[in-house]
Amino acid sequence: MKYYLTSWEVKKVHKRNFDKFIRNYGLPLGLLALVLIIQIIFNKVPLFSLFNINNILLETVSIALTALGLSYIMMSGEGDLSFAGMFSLLTVVFATFANNTNSFIISYIIVSVIAVSVNLFIALLVTRLNFSSFIISIAIMFMANGVEKAFHQQTTLIQNPSILSFSRIEFGLPLVVWLMFIIYLVSYFVINKTKYGFSLRIVGENKNAAIEAGINSNRIKISAYIIAGLLIALASAVESTRVGAIYEQGKYYMLPVFAACFLGSSMFVPGRINIIGTLVGALFLGVLEKFMNMISVESYIVSIVQGIVLIVSVGLVAFKNRAKIVQVKL
């Protein structure tokens, strides 16, 4: 038993503590820093004004919810790209039904059914027939895109004011923002404190260990997909009522949704998708985008920056785990 540490080991311990600090608090601190910078630059338009915060949070809701759904799927060990096509399709469907039936509930139910069915379909193919979730979701993305094109090729707006108010109601913060926080909170609890969440994480990390533990991986994966379906349905309802159904909007969300998840994975255990991280990541990207809008940056540069953020964030994590990565095992 050693009672002293060699200098090499002391350095290692310090480095480990430092690493841990950065991991756990780096991202939220970065977010705070960003907010402060914006605050300083735009002294006249204080960021912390309620209106602005509401605005930013509101804009982030759809992305945050979709990212959460993606997080569930990724935590179960699969990947998904279908949301890029499904999201905009769902917003169109929602808007169309809202205009035709004038009922929020009916529109919402229809969108939920579609989202969950499609995801269920994917989940079944992935679990029963062992297909690559990655490739299948790409196929679904393109198919959804095709269907969307067949419907409309322009923006659809909802006419009914009472439905539109879904994203306007406020209790201090907008209703949907509260919903987002509540859903995240519940998810955090489920993932970290329940047996279901425990099983989910095992399935995602080591399939054989899941078998040994007697966990029904198929059932768990299917549940993750269903949850993701429900979440994307909600996200599409929010988006539809907030700005309407914009043609092919889903494609532009592909990047921030992934970036949120991967940025978030840099927190706590590096490389592991986690709930809090995804939320912080989504918020970070939301604020970043707002910032770039405020300094009148063109939309394509926003894309470029988001792309760089994604690569850098994943890169840092990957660089640390150099030995283990490289091949496409999504």
Partner 1 sequence: MTNNVVIRIRDVKKYFGATKALDGVDLDICSNEVHAIVGSNGAGKSTLMKTLAGEYVPDDGQFYYLDEEITGFSPLEIQQKGIQVVHQVLNIVESMSILENILLANPPIKKGILDWKTGRKKVRETLDFIGIDFDLGKSAGSLSISEQQFVILARALIHNPKILVLDEPTSRIGLEETRKLFQVINKLKQNGTTTIYISHRMEEIYQICDKISVFRDGRCIDTRETEQLPKDKLVTMMLGKKLDVFFPKNEMEVGNEVLRIDKLKYRDIVDDVSFSVRRGEIVSIVGAVGAGKTEIINMIFGILKSDGGEIFIDNKPINKNHSSYKAIKMELALIPENRALQGMVEKYPVKYNLTAINLKGISKFNLINSEKEEVLAKDLNTKLSVIPNDINYLISQLSGGNQQKVVIGKWLADSYKVYLLDEVTAGVDIGAKSEIYELLGELAIKGAGIVLATGDIEEAIGLSDKIIILYKGKVVKEVDPKNTSKDEILSYIMGSEKSA
Partner 2 sequence: MSSISIPSLREKRMIIINPQMRIFIGLLFVVLLFFAFATPNFGFIRLQNLNNILTDSVIPAIFAFGMGIIIAGGGFDLSLGHIASMAALIVAYLMSGGIRFDLFSAILVGLLIAAGVGSINGLLVSRMGISSFIVTLGMQFLIIGVRQLITGGQSVYISNGLFKKLVFSEFGISNLVFVLVVVGLSCYFIMEKSVFGRKIQFLGENIEASRFMGFDIKNITMVTFILGALLAAIGGTLFAARAGAVQINSVDSKLLDAITIAVFSAVFFGRFSTSGIIVASILISMISTGMSMMEIKTEWIEFMKGFILLSSIFLTKYMNFNKPNGSISSILIGKGEAINEQQESI
Rounded-to-integer distance, Cα 167 and Cα 158, Å: 12
Applying CB under 8 A, the span of 19-27, 180-188, 273-281, 297-305 interacting with partner 2 comes to 297-305
Which residues from 220-259 bind partner 2, rule CB under 8 A? 254-255, 258
Least distance to partner 1, CB of residue 281, Å: 19
Least distance to partner 2, CB of residue 155, Å: 16
Which one, 120 or 143, has the nearer CB to partner 2? 143
Which one, 1 or 40, has the nearer CB to partner 1? 1
* Encoded tokens for 14: 């310090």
Answer for which of 77, 229, 264, 286 binds partner 2 (CB under 8 A) is 77
- Residue 269 touches which member of partner 2, partner 1, none, C-beta under 5-8 Å by kind: partner 1
Q: Is 7 in the site for partner 1 (CB under 8 A)?
A: no
Q: Is 304 in the site for partner 2 (CB under 8 A)?
A: yes
- Residue 193 touches which member of partner 2, partner 1, none, C-beta under 5-8 Å by kind: partner 1
- Residue 4 touches which member of partner 2, partner 1, none, C-beta under 5-8 Å by kind: none
Q: Is 147 in the site for partner 2 (CB under 8 A)?
A: yes
Cα 268 to its chain centre, rounded Å, is: 17
Q: Is 2 in the site for partner 1 (CB under 8 A)?
A: no
Which residues from 246-275 bind partner 1, rule CB under 8 A? 269, 272
Site string for partner 2, 95-134 (x = CB under 8 A): ------------------------------xx--xxxxxx
Tell me if 244 sits within 8 A of 139, measured CB to CB: no
Rounded-to-integer distance, Cα 275 and Cα 287, Å: 19
Q: Is 205 in the site for partner 1 (CB under 8 A)?
A: yes
Least distance to partner 2, CB of residue 303, Å: 4
Q: Is 193 in the site for partner 1 (CB under 8 A)?
A: yes
Q: Which residues bind partner 1 (CB under 8 A)?
A: 8-9, 193-195, 198, 201-202, 205-206, 208-209, 211-214, 269, 272
